[in-house]
Amino acid sequence: MAIQSGSTTDDLAEAAAGDQAVSIREAQRLAQMFQLFADATRTRILYTLLQAREMCVNDIASSLGIPETSVSHALRLLRVAGVVRNRRDGRLVYYSLDDEHIRMLLTTSREHLAHRVR
């Protein structure tokens, strides 16, 4: 099943469950998503959100010891890609992982890394 750019979540789930081959478009989208994880700062932010569930930019920057501007830029890229979501509370914006699939991907990736190190 080829995935179109306007595909629904059900279409994507059906494609994932139905056959193992991926279309060129789907492969490009997967590669773009994995490129987001290829940056150490973005990866550290994602694992911080995995642990904390939800944080604002200032708290993420403080916990990781990196500038707020770097955190904001990384979160913008992750938000546009649908990896994280945000919620506004007055003047603060809180970020969290978008859904359980992202949590599973992060957890499984770390488990795989630990397994490969042994």
Average pLDDT for 9-16: 56
The reported pLDDT for the residue numbered 106 is 95
39-117 maps to CATH 3.90.550.10: no
Give, as one character, the DSSP assignment of residue 81: T
Distance CA 2, CA 24 (A): 8
- The predicted-structure confidence for 48-78, as pLDDT tens digits, reads as follows 999 999 999 999 999 999 999 999 999 999 9
Q: Max Cα separation, the chain? A: 47
Mean pLDDT taken over the chain: 87
Compute the residue count for the chain.
118
Q: How many Cβ atoms sit within 10 Å of the Cβ of residue 20? A: 5
The reported pLDDT for the residue numbered 8 is 57
The reported pLDDT for the residue numbered 41 is 96
Domains of the chain, residue spans: 1-38, 39-117
